[in-house]
């Protein structure tokens, strides 16, 4: 079978298995209501645009100004001649926002994570990772293990007894790095940071938190998981994205002590061999950080929307996973059911993605709702009417 024929056969199998991902094309900016090609106006309940900043005039304007001031791009990697002053301004703002001394941006949080483990860990070291961590952390660990022969361990999701067991077993390791998501993207639950940090102190370990879904989201002023627990400044190392609450364009960063970001600048391969953020993105992200700092009411509104939507889903008879975050998963069981629900909701002009195996465990397929501060009460009512109609049709409520 030819190369292309084999790919085609696999793609056909994805379709037969009901796991083929169809892309929906948007013809307007990311917002609570968008123009979806072939469908007209659709409500978005499936985006990481948590604070609605993707389409805020100040964020867009800052991107345009950066384009005028710095041109299209760096034309080079950072250390050769690819760093603009706006990168430094953004990195200072991000560090201050998440409560760290310093930060270093990457073209994505995927890159930030990928650049972390293989750079920090060596043969005498171990990384201990939550079972439900994001794919980018998992791949970073796999890469580190292959390149550096570091040790790895996985603890059961948010199971502190298991984490302690893994830490105790790793006593002899030089660096013990505990890596966790801040908010777990498929469950919408929050890492038990106080316990994780306490265990890390007990066993002389370093804590890394990927706050991609928590930056701009958790805590009274959106500074993330640490602020949520009143622990700003107590996390050793934070990675996060600029592609969700902070303007939603792209980009990521690693924050921590200045020595860490300096070391990553010297040694992390995505820094050494790949261009820096485009100035437009850096400009928009910097404006987004400032916007969140000036508008904490957006974070309050996001929390209210999440609470209200979860409560109302429950009143309709759905069983969303309990939680305090704007990620509200409704578990449906089989993958086909989640995809059917997502399709039927789209017919009602509400866009919510269905997730099935292998993204989530077999039998735990779900539609994952994500709330935004930009959703109005009308938007939420519109979505809930659609959930009621589709839920009744499928015999779920
Ligand atoms: C927890 C987590 N980490 C990292 C990423 C990757 O972020 P980026 O889009 O900036 O590569 C995501 C994106 O989905 C995520 O949810």
The residue range of the domain holding 331 is: 16-45+296-393
- Residue 2 annotated among the catalytic residues of the structure: no
In-domain check, residue 327: yes
CA-nearest residue for atom 7, ligand 1, is: 109
pLDDT value of position 18: 76
- Per-residue model confidence as pLDDT tens digits over 69-100: 999 999 999 999 999 999 999 999 999 999 99
What is the average pLDDT score of the chain? 96
Do 76 and 162 belong together in one domain? yes
104 neighbors 90 (Cβ within 8 angstroms): no
pLDDT value of position 358: 81
In-domain check, residue 3: no
Beta strand 237-241 with 206-210: parallel, antiparallel or unpaired?
A: parallel
Q: Is 210 close to ligand 1, i.e. is its CB under 6 Å away?
A: yes
Rounded to 10 deg, the angle between the 335-347 and 377-393 helix axes is 130
Distance, CA of 33 to CA of 35 (rounded, Å): 7
Do 184 and 37 belong together in one domain? no
Do 230 and 269 belong together in one domain? yes
- Per-residue model confidence as pLDDT tens digits over 283-319: 999 999 999 999 999 999 999 999 999 999 999 999 9
Among 213, 228, 303, 337, which one carries the catalytic annotation?
A: 213
Q: How far is the CA of 246 from the centre of ligand 1 (A)?
A: 13
Q: What is the mean pLDDT of residues 364-376?
A: 96
Do 342 and 258 belong together in one domain? no
pLDDT value of position 50: 98
pLDDT value of position 361: 85
- The CATH number of whichever domain residue 73 belongs to comes to 3.40.640.10
- Residue 166 annotated among the catalytic residues of the structure: no
In-domain check, residue 200: yes
Query: What count of other Cβ atoms lies within 10 Å of the Cβ of residue 331?
Result: 18
316 neighbors 273 (Cβ within 8 angstroms): no
pLDDT value of position 1: 87
pLDDT level of residue 345 (50, 70, 90 thresholds): very high
Do 86 and 155 belong together in one domain? yes
Biggest alpha carbon–alpha carbon distance for the chain: 61
In-domain check, residue 343: yes
Q: What three-state secondary structure class fits 42? A: strand
pLDDT level of residue 357 (50, 70, 90 thresholds): confident
**Whole-prediction pTM:** 0.97
User: Does pLDDT of 17 surpass 90?
Assistant: no
pLDDT value of position 356: 86
In-domain check, residue 107: yes
Do 308 and 340 belong together in one domain? yes
Residue at a domain's end among 294, 316, 341: 294
Q: Name the residue of 47, 109, 135, 281 to mutate for ligand 1: max ligand atoms within 8 A of Cβ.
A: 109
Per-residue tokens: 65: 């100004």
Closest atom of ligand 1 relative to the 241 alpha carbon? 10
Distance, CA of 44 to CA of 198 (rounded, Å): 39
Q: Give the chain's domain count.
A: 2
Do 304 and 338 belong together in one domain? yes
Do 259 and 184 belong together in one domain? yes
Do 226 and 341 belong together in one domain? no
Q: Is 109 close to ligand 1, i.e. is its CB under 6 Å away?
A: yes
- Per-residue model confidence as pLDDT tens digits over 179-198: 999 999 999 999 999 999 99
Q: How far is the CA of 75 from the centre of ligand 1 (A)?
A: 25
Q: Is 114 close to ligand 1, i.e. is its CB under 6 Å away?
A: no
Q: What is the mean pLDDT of residues 233-242?
A: 98
Which H or E run includes 66? helix 57-70
Q: What is the mean pLDDT of residues 1-22?
A: 91
CA distances from 349 to 58, 141, 377 (A): 29, 40, 16
CA atoms within 13 A on the CB side of 179: 30
Q: Is 353 close to ligand 1, i.e. is its CB under 6 Å away?
A: no
- The CATH number of whichever domain residue 321 belongs to comes to 3.90.1150.10
């Amino acid at each position: 079978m030819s190369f292309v024929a084999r790919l085609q056969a696999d793609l056909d199998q994805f379709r037969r298995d009901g796991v083929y991902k169809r892309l929906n094309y948007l013809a307007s900016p990311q917002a609570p209501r968008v123009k979806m090609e072939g469908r007209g106006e659709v409500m978005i309940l499936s985006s990481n645009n948590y604070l609605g900043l993707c389409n805020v005039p100040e964020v867009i304007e800052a991107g345009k100004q950066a384009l005028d001031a710095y041109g299209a791009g760096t034309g080079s990697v950072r250390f050769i001649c690819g760093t603009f002053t706006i990168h430094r301004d953004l990195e200072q703002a991000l560090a201050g926002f998440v409560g760290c001394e310093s930060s270093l941006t990457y073209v994505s949080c995927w890159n930030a994570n990928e650049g972390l483990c293989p750079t920090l860990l060596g043969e005498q070291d171990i990384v201990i990772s939550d079972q439900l961590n994001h794919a980018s952390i998992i791949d970073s660990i796999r890469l580190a293990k292959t390149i550096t022969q570091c040790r790895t361990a996985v603890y059961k999701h948010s199971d502190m007894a298991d984490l302690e067991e893994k830490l105790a077993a790793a006593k002899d390791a030089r660096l013990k790095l505990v890596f966790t998501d801040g908010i777990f993207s498929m469950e919408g639950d929050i890492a038990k940071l106080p316990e994780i940090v306490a265990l890390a102190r007990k066993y002389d370990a370093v804590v890394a938190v990927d706050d991609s879904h928590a930056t701009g989201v958790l805590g009274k002023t959106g500074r993330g998981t640490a602020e949520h627990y009143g622990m700003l400044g107590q996390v050793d190392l934070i990675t996060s994205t600029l592609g969700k609450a902070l303007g939603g364009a792209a980009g990521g960063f690693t924050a921590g002590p200045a020595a860490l970001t300096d070391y990553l600048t010297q040694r992390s391969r995505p820094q050494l061999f790949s261009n820096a953020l485009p100035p437009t993105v850096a400009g928009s992200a910097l404006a987004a950080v400032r916007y969140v700092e000036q508008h904490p009411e957006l974070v309050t509104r996001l929390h209210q929307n999440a609470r209200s939507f979860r409560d109302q889903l429950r009143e309709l008879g759905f069983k969303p996973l309990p939680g305090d975050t704007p990620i509200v998963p409704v578990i449906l069981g089989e993958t086909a059911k989640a995809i059917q629900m997502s399709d039927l909701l789209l017919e009602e002009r509400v866009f919510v993605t269905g997730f099935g195996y292998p993204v989530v465990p077999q039998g735990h397929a779900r539609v994952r709702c994500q709330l935004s501060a930009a959703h109005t009460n009308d938007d939420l009512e519109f979505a809930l009417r659609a959930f009621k109609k589709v839920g009744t049709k499928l015999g779920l409520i």
